[in-house]
Structure 1
């Protein structure tokens, strides 16, 4: 049974920004909109992006670095999108910009939140400051580059720094211990931006330097080096936005924990396999899930491919694992799927979250744990994350509530479908909005079991 997934939303949004900066046409092959992305494309129209759908292609026409500058800036997207739009505007430090909303409690709160995010990523000077309207200019100076507890530049800040440097023809260089969500970096390289992006470690040292460091007992850690130089023009290219890795993980989880016949096979097509985005798939593989990449393609500056998924062999179980902060960081939005898998795993699974998001995710972990305990699994919430001891057989569990987090809702929906519950997970509309059509497709997977039963009855 083959499935085509929704395009990866994060990559699609970055593609639209890139298309604006291209001096000419960018053609997206095998095109389909990801949820909410067309609204982002319409926001970029205010900067001069034009697009038209032609059959299975989306043709985008950009304006290069001479794009338009709207004085009223949007504030109603998520943080990643808002920051990229504001970065585009920040190339002009003389123009006056405005955040504005309705003068009610919701509008005042929205402007206040936007101001807080703005001042986190930019240096600005206020022109006027009212409860539901903030007018300002961007400063030329950049905030200092701060690294997180893993030794990396947070990906929203990294994307912003690279975009701003590109617009201002700045020279930029920094090193990180690893990378999280480097699609923008690879996209810049693919479209011809003068960049160097490489791993560095012992191999970069001379033989004398290596011997001296060994003699001193010093350890050379491998780092990721990024360097960007002035690029005057970005040329037009064809591009492709692969399928959502989160949706692929949902299919892999359902195939693994449901009671499908051992001959069942599920294939998801053209999945984003960028390791800094799809890290949760790698973690799930470490737990013993049975899936393989059968068609790996390195095109458009990155990697994607088809994944074939199989039920576990009879008598085999997932295995509990300890996942460190750096492992979870590459799929932090997807850790609820690993938590669901842990309920079925032998032994103990520990999910350690990056320090920067622990406080924000603590109430979310509490809600997730409350849902998962309904299966009978032991689930503990602690300062660093979650600890889960699974069951040999999970047969109970219902009345799940995904709340307002679509990834949690989707993970619990997979659990509910696997347990063949009659009632859907509460707040399923949140899941449908973020991952349109995914629940119907997951229910189709369970048809493999029904078809097997019908065949045996005949």
Structure 2
């Protein structure tokens, strides 16, 4: 059943004493989606610990149940009894993916190589986002896609149980498209090859190996990667421990850097090097940011992040860093608004096709609160100053990351900042407002 969220406007005032304490952030969303999907395709029983229980991931769980997997939750532990590759069953109803573009695009790959018919839809935001980027390559494996004009949901998929393996070079770096093609290849006979111009987050490759799949990765001359696997494959159930989401950690972390008097420790954060572009950038800006207790859990590097209030300076972020921090640009732009000097964030074309046009919405967020910006092609220029005014009303466009970025701005601004709707924060960071208030924030309904 489709859930319609009631709008939750909030007003955020500057935190008077800073943010302090120790905290955890929810499990990594990318890893959570993939753990449910691959466990459902595996033979045997998988237990998942630390799964993100946000709306996006719960939609993936519902979809995999509808496709025949048995998924149960006992406290914080999720148990999945998988069907096996090629053994998913046709759903009895439309698969509602809510607000999750990741779930819809990755699941498209799985559906395309199973002998079944299915239909996917989502909320108003997801139905406005393009799916052509996965439809075009996947349709070459013998499956058929039918969507609204522009490749938008609702979308029907006629899967091909004898799918042709694909060899595809991504025109633009995208972990979601790469993953969709690889997942389609699990039930195709022969060698599936994906080449990406720039290395993108590799959680799919890591998790496929975790479930017993032989995945070959080679580095291309230009710095991209070539990923290969041979299907059909058999996945063997293995337990998964999900680390804290580095994208979610970005919001309390940046807030601690901006709010005077802050000293915050965020524990158990995933530190996959293809996800840590924001941390690299903040260090270049002069952030007092350190990593403690580094370790490896479930094949992924993990550590604790300590952030203290810092005087930041402007930065020039190269376009090749975008894949490692694509979801963090709105909150990075907020940090740049509080920095000394100008910052230039390059190569942000991917932001135009997120939950909203995140580039335009980020510019609006900054401008209504007194910051100066300029967009040149796909670059965002932010002219920072140490004490931005605030006092504006942020329009979130049903985008959880814009809502949280607006909250971070308000915690350090001179005047309170109004956020038009924060309901969609629950899709990725359940309990965000309560967590921030517990650390010393002043966020009120």
TM-score by length of 2: 0.81
In 2, Cα distance between the equivalents of 1:278 and 1:406?
Answer: 20
Would the aligned equivalents of 2:165 and 2:192 in 1 still touch at CA under 8 Å?
no
Distance 1:111 1:35, change over 3 A: closer
**1:257 equivalent in structure 2:** 258
Deviation, 1:256, is 0.9
Deviation, 1:336, is 0.8
SS in 1 for 2:401: helix
**1:380 equivalent in structure 2:** 374
**Structure 1 residue runs without a partner (length 5+):** 201-219, 449-458
Report whether the alignment pairs 1:83 with 2:105: yes
In 1, Cα distance between the equivalents of 2:120 and 2:263?
Answer: 51
**1:212 equivalent in structure 2:** none
Report whether the alignment pairs 1:122 with 2:144: no
SS in 1 for 2:424: helix
**2:78 equivalent in structure 1:** 58
In 1, Cα distance between the equivalents of 2:394 and 2:145?
Answer: 48
Deviation, 1:404, is 2.3
**Bigger CA drift: 422-431 or 138-147?**
138-147
In 2, Cα distance between the equivalents of 1:134 and 1:388?
Answer: 38
**1:74 equivalent in structure 2:** 95
Alignment counterpart, residue 400 of structure 2, candidates 395, 401, 406: 406
Alignment counterpart, residue 10 of structure 1, candidates 10, 15, 30: 30
Report whether the alignment pairs 1:295 with 2:315: no
Would the aligned equivalents of 2:364 and 2:394 in 1 still touch at CA under 8 Å?
no
Alignment counterpart, residue 24 of structure 1, candidates 35, 44, 49: 44
Deviation, 1:446, is 2.7
Counterparts of residues 315-334 of structure 1 (less than 5 Å): 317-334=311-328
In 2, Cα distance between the equivalents of 1:291 and 1:111?
Answer: 37
Report whether the alignment pairs 1:339 with 2:340: no
Distance 1:223 1:361, change over 3 A: same
Alignment counterpart, residue 187 of structure 1, candidates 176, 193, 207: 207
Deviation, 1:130, is 11
Higher helix share: 1
Would the aligned equivalents of 1:348 and 1:390 in 2 still touch at CA under 8 Å?
yes
In 2, Cα distance between the equivalents of 1:127 and 1:409?
Answer: 33
Residues 393-444 of structure 1, C-alpha deviations (whole Å, 9 max, x = no match): 3354443333322111111101102237556422122334542211222233
**Structure 2 residue runs without a partner (length 5+):** 1-20
In 2, Cα distance between the equivalents of 1:47 and 1:23?
Answer: 15
Alignment counterpart, residue 137 of structure 1, candidates 138, 158, 175: 158
Alignment counterpart, residue 363 of structure 2, candidates 363, 369, 372: 369
Report whether the alignment pairs 1:197 with 2:217: yes
Deviation, 1:135, is 6.4
SS in 1 for 2:235: coil
Query: When the two structures are aligned, how many residues end up with a matched partner?
Result: 413
Distance 1:125 1:340, change over 3 A: closer
In angstroms, what is the RMSD of aligned CA positions? Answer: 3.5
Larger radius of gyration: 1
Deviation, 1:296, is 1.6
**1:238 equivalent in structure 2:** 239
Alignment counterpart, residue 67 of structure 2, candidates 25, 44, 47: 47
In 1, Cα distance between the equivalents of 2:112 and 2:356?
Answer: 34
In 1, Cα distance between the equivalents of 2:192 and 2:74?
Answer: 38
**1:167 equivalent in structure 2:** 187
In 1, Cα distance between the equivalents of 2:301 and 2:283?
Answer: 18
SS in 2 for 1:297: strand
SS in 1 for 2:236: coil
1 or 2 for the larger relative contact order (CA 8 Å, sep ≥6)?
A: 2
Higher strand share: 2
**1:205 equivalent in structure 2:** none
In 2, Cα distance between the equivalents of 1:285 and 1:399?
Answer: 30
Would the aligned equivalents of 1:242 and 1:304 in 2 still touch at CA under 8 Å?
yes
SS in 1 for 2:190: coil
Distance 1:426 1:420, change over 3 A: farther
